């Protein structure tokens, strides 16, 4: 009986540890015209572990220190397999000057209800491509 309880406890601890270790690497890969006076920031998301439920990521778009717009990005479940560990999402906004984006909130949608996740689950990837001359 003690062995069963011990193995169950260890399994629960392992599940808890792996859930806490999951994160999403977030990289802005493009800016485009969405039409009707709106622009779109394109983000590449890469999951470290599966996200089996949809997510919502709220980003603030800034020009310097001034917030010019908030956008809500909807993200489908991803990361269950190597083939879908990466996903794109879009933040549409009126075509104002935007110099940075900041993650304000992250929610996982579980059974139709928002569950707040830590903003630290998003790890910014500020990769700068090599200029082409």
What span, in angstroms and rounded, lies between the C-alpha atoms of 55 and 47?
12
- Domains of the chain by residue range: 24-124
Quick one: 100 exposed, middle or buried, by C-beta within 10 A (0-12, 13-18, 19+)? middle
Predicted local distance difference test score (pLDDT) of residue 132: 81
CA–CA gap between residue 80 and residue 35 (Å, rounded): 33
Pick among 2.40.50, 1.10.3300, 2.60.220, 2.60.40: CATH of 24-124: 2.60.40
Confidence of residue 8 (pLDDT cuts 50, 70, 90): very low
pLDDT, one tens digit per residue, over 16-58 is 344 458 999 999 999 999 889 999 999 999 999 999 999 999 9
How are the residues of the chain apportioned to helix, strand and coil, as percentages rounded to the nearest 5? 20, 55, 25
pLDDT at 20: 57
Q: What is the pLDDT of residues 86-100, one digit of tens each?
A: 999 999 999 989 999
| pLDDT tens digit sequence for 101-132 | 999 999 999 999 999 999 999 999 988 777 78
């Amino acid at each position: 009986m003690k062995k069963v309880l011990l193995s169950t406890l260890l399994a629960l601890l392992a599940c808890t540890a792996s859930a806490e270790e999951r994160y999403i690497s977030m990289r802005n890969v493009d800016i485009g015209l969405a039409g009707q006076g709106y622009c779109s920031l394109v983000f590449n998301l890469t999951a470290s572990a599966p996200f089996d439920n949809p997510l919502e990521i709220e980003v603030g778009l800034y020009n310097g220190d001034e917030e010019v717009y908030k956008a809500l990005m909807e993200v489908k479940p991803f990361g269950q397999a190597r083939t879908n560990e990466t996903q794109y999402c879009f933040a549409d906004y009126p075509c104002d000057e935007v110099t940075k984006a900041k993650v304000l909130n992250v929610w996982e949608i579980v059974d139709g209800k928002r569950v707040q996740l830590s903003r630290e689950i998003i790890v910014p990837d500020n990769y700068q491509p090599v200029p082409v001359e």
